[in-house]
Amino acid sequence: MFTYSEEHKKYLKNIKKEKITIRIARISIILLFIITWEVLAKYKLINTFLFSSPSSIIKTLVSLVKSNNLFSHIGITLYEVTLSFLIATIIGLLVATIFWRFELISKIMDPYITILNSLPKVALGPLIIIWVGASINSIIFMALLISTFITIINIYNGFINVNSSYITLMKSLKATKRQIFWKVVFPSNYKTIISTLKINVSMSLIGVIMGELLVSKSGLGYLIMYGSQVFNINLVITSVVILGIISYLMYFVIDKFEQKIKR
C-alpha cells in the first residue's frame, strides 16, 4: 500500500491550510464590506438615496421576485452573455489558429485587428442598431465586438510565444505543421486559453449590458437603464449586484474546468 512521506504530508497540509485561509479571507472581505455599508446607511453617514443599502437591495430583490420579473430578466441576460461568450471564444480560437498557421495573413491583418479592438464600441452603438436592428442581434453583435478581438489577440500571442526549442525538436522529427500545433502549440497554451476565457466572461458581460442599455426592453441592462431614468437607485444597484453574482458564477465554472484540466 502506497504511503506518503512526512514531508509530502506536511506539504499537502500546508496547501489545504492555504486554500482555507484564502476562502475565509474572501468571505470576510465581502462580509465586512456589506456590514460596513449597512451600518453607514443605518446611521445616515451616507446618503441612501445615492448609495442604497444591503437591506434595501434585499427588499428590492423580494419585490422583483414577487412581481415575477427578476428571473425573466436574469434569464435573458444570461442567455445573451452565454451565447456571445461561446461565439467569441470559437471565433477567437479559429482566427488565432489561422493566423498561426498562415503567418503572412497575420502580418497583413495585425494592424486591422488592433484598430478594430481600439475602436470605442459605445460610439458604434447607433450604427449597430441601424445595421443589425434594434433587437437581440444588436446586443450579441455589440458583445462580440468587445470580446472577439481581445480573444484573438491574447490566444494568438500565446501561440507565437511557445518555446521555440519544442518546435525545433518537432521539425527535426519531420512533424507536419498540424502535428506541431496539436502536439506542442495548443497544449502549451492551455493556461493562456483559460485566462482568455476568464477575461472573455467579463468582456461579454460588458458588451451585453452596453447593448441592453441601448436597445433592450428586458434584461438586467434594461433594469439599470429604467432604474436610472426613474431615480430608483435601489433597482440600479440591485441589478449591478446580480451582474456581479453572474460574473462570479461564470468565472467559477471556468476555474473548475481549469482544475479538471490540470488533474
96 and 22 in one domain? no
226 and 128 in one domain? yes
Query: Looking at this protein, which amino acid is placed at residue 191?
Result: K
Q: Are 34 and 54 in contact (CB under 8 A)?
A: yes
102-121, pLDDT tens digit by residue? 989 999 998 898 888 888 87
**Residue 68 falls in which region: left (phi positive, over 0), alpha (psi -120 to 50) or beta:** left
Q: What domain count does the chain have?
A: 2
126-137, pLDDT tens digit by residue? 888 888 877 888
108 and 92 in one domain? yes
190 and 132 in one domain? yes
Q: Are 231 and 254 in contact (CB under 8 A)?
A: no
pTM for the full model? 0.83
129 and 20 in one domain? no
Question: What domain range includes position 33?
Answer: 1-46
134 and 104 in one domain? yes
152 and 26 in one domain? no
- pLDDT for 99 beyond 90: yes
Q: Is 16 exposed, middle or buried (0-12, 13-18, 19+ CB in 10 A)?
A: exposed
90 and 36 in one domain? no
- pLDDT for 187 beyond 80: yes
52-73, pLDDT tens digit by residue? 889 999 998 888 888 877 888 8
